[in-house]
Amino acid sequence: KKILIVTANYYKDISQNLIKGSYQHCLINNIDSNIIEVPGSFEIPFVINKNRDLYDGFIALGCVIRGETYHFEIICNQVSKKIMDLSIEINKPIGFGILTCENTEQAIKRSDPSQGNKGFEAAKACIDLLNLK
């Protein structure tokens, strides 16, 4: 089994922590994985779609932090919807590890490798679904 980890590096420190969690869970389960970095979360569905035939599953990692404009809602809603649509369309699991946070402190806490890393959880979800197939 082979998984592609697609990570948005807009918040580099956050995404690196999410990658550590995902990669660790892949190693524990003897899953081959590759990583592709993209500029932001909005670009993740494109890369997953482009690589749909090359992998058994995908892990989407990123972080969107609320600002002063409506941009947060647009990005969060559209990316999550497209990732769900892609998963159904290509019939492959996509672990959702895109943090949608009110502030940087929330993002740091949710990406911390020592306490509830959401990258680890996204990898677990993807691998659990792969094992169901």
Among the listed residues 2, 12, 71, 133, the single catalytic one is: 71
Say whether 71 is catalytic.
Answer: yes
* Contact status, residue 23 vs residue 59, Cβ threshold 8 Å: no
Q: For 36-41, which contacts have Cβ atoms below 8 Å and span 24 or more sequence positions?
A: 36/4, 36/5, 36/6, 36/7, 37/7, 37/8, 37/9, 38/6, 38/7, 38/8, 38/9, 39/8, 39/9, 39/10, 40/8, 40/10, 40/75, 41/8, 41/10, 41/75, 41/79, 41/98
Active site members? 71
